Chain A
Amino acid sequence: MPSVTFDHVTKRFGDVVIVEDFNLEVADGELLVLVGGSGSGKSTLLRMVAGLESVTSGTIRIDDRDITHLAPRERDVAMVFQDYALYPHLTVRDNLSLGLKLRKVPKPEIARRVAWAAGMLGLEALLDRKPKQLSGGQRQRVAMGRAMVREPLVFLFDEPLSNLDAGLRAQMRIEIGGLQRRLNTTTIYVTHDQVEAMTLGDRIVVLANGTIQQVGRPIELYRDPVNRFVAGFIGSPPMNFIEGRLDRNGGAAFVADGVRVELGGEREPVPVAAPVTLGIRPEDISLVAAGMATSPVSGTVVLVERLGGTSHVHLDVGPNRLMAAVSQEQLPAVGERIEVYVPSARVHLFDAGGKCRTARP
């Protein structure tokens, strides 16, 4: 089974750098998610693996084979496109089998593979339909089937779920994950949706401006983001950030207008008085019951969103807006002044350059 290696891969359009010195090895059978905003270079990286974009410098290998300059059809990779890219004039059966016909696969073998993929994806009843007679989710399945029957070395997914509505997206996400684990085919999956990245990826690569911000397992990125970009990108609802500085007065503490968080003695990540940003996830903040021990963080409730299981409490703390995700029944009223508990063990501190200074080793 194959691995995919990016070796100093750079892509430029004229003077514009799309991807800068990208190095990565996708392990055999791994599902690697490339996640980032628009313009981060994630789709360009995928298209370079497919051969649909040229590589300015560096090499891409599948196992030990250098594919950097091969034509798309010589690479033995299959891609699922955002708009599915089904052949509109062909039936589902012919959509699935065209790639095999072009590669002169014997007819009984084509029939066997089409039946196998159709069975796996529940497409048996749809084989004689045209794409326009299918729903969005069915088209998505046909697109995956077309990739599967090829039995390629590598699957490439380019934002495959972004044209589906929310409910279907969650369902197809589960199906893609299950399918990939069963087939165990090396997969590179591009998305801008961090929920897809967290739930699907064996590992996630967070990209910004064509460079890797962080590579790791989903939980590592969640727990130990290396910089402010990753911290803000991974996790939903997003992490709260408060600008402030460090205070040495009676043990290291983060201070800002209306905020004081004790950091515990041994941690002194940045020089005292240097500007620093504190990051805390909404789910790590808890509300302090009225009349209990006083907390150094207090604010005014500006909005309460009840989602059923959890609720989002938005409060103004000095000039900063904080959001706490809590699961309790008793919620404060808008306009009420409340205290919140910010556990120091869950706090991330970022220096002026955005680098995280509290990352665990």
Chain B
Amino acid sequence: MSADQEQRTIRCLVAKVGLDGHDRGAHVIARAFRDAGFEVIYSGLHRAPEEIVQAAVQEDVDVLGISILSGAHNTLVPKVIEGLKEYDAFDDTLVLVGGIIPDEDKEELLELGVAEVFGPGTPMEETVEFVEANAPER
């Protein structure tokens, strides 16, 4: 729209959903996003999908990055997406999933509305550039 739009800081919520207790990856992403100049909120461990939805809606984030290493992505991600839709927040939130996601599940997540799935070993610049290129316009 106008020039000031480009200078807007991108707000991200880095979220850990479910019982999976490993957040080293989420921490690394959170720091990389911070270093890239984004505003970052980290949810902390063991959040319910509903809590993540509330945080994403209330914090008015542009990007929601969900880190899942437990294999429960097919249960948890749809719940988060449904919740975002309920609050009319899905259309202008970039939803990313990171962690251990088998290739055969990736397609399903993308169809659900996840913008991209990042697996182990993804270069940090790739994730940051993806967010910069795809963060929703407001």
A binds B: no
Interface residues of A (CB under 8 A from B): none
Interface residues of B (CB under 8 A from A): none
